[in-house]
């Protein structure tokens, strides 16, 4: 039988149980961090010049970067 000192037994216990637990904690933390970093872009097509552009903010009305006309959300849904 292998003889273990108390400190070795405690160290083995830490290695076997606490390190995998910490690994799971770090993994779930990184997953949550990834989700919070996702920026949702909204695609728009201009109803005047048909230029396709994207916006970061979820607005109901946007301005076309090419011709400067306003585009409403309802018009965008019909364009698709």
**Contacts of Zn ion in 19-78 (CB under 5 A):** 46, 48-49, 51, 64, 66-67
Which whole-number Å values give the CA distances from 68 to 7, 47, 50, 59, in the listed order?
Answer: 72, 11, 12, 16
Q: 6-9: long-range contacts at Cβ-Cβ below 8 A with a sequence spacing of 24 or more? A: none
User: Smallest distance, Å, CB 78 to Zn ion?
Assistant: 16
Q: Minimum CB separation from Zn ion for residue 51, in Å? A: 5
Nearest approach, Cβ of residue 26 and Zn ion (Å): 47
Q: How far apart are CA 41 and CA 53, in angstroms?
A: 10
Q: What residue ranges bind Zn ion (CB under 5 A)?
A: 46, 48-49, 51, 64, 66-67
């Amino acid at each position: 039988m292998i003889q273990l000192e108390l400190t070795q037994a405690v160290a083995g216990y830490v290695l076997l149980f606490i390190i995998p637990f910490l690994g799971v904690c770090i993994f779930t933390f990184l997953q949550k961090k990834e989700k919070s970093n996702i920026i949702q872009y909204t695609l728009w097509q201009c109803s005047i010049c048909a230029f396709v552009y994207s916006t970061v903010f979820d607005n109901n009305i946007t301005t076309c970067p090419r011709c400067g006309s306003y585009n409403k959300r309802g018009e965008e849904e019909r364009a698709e």
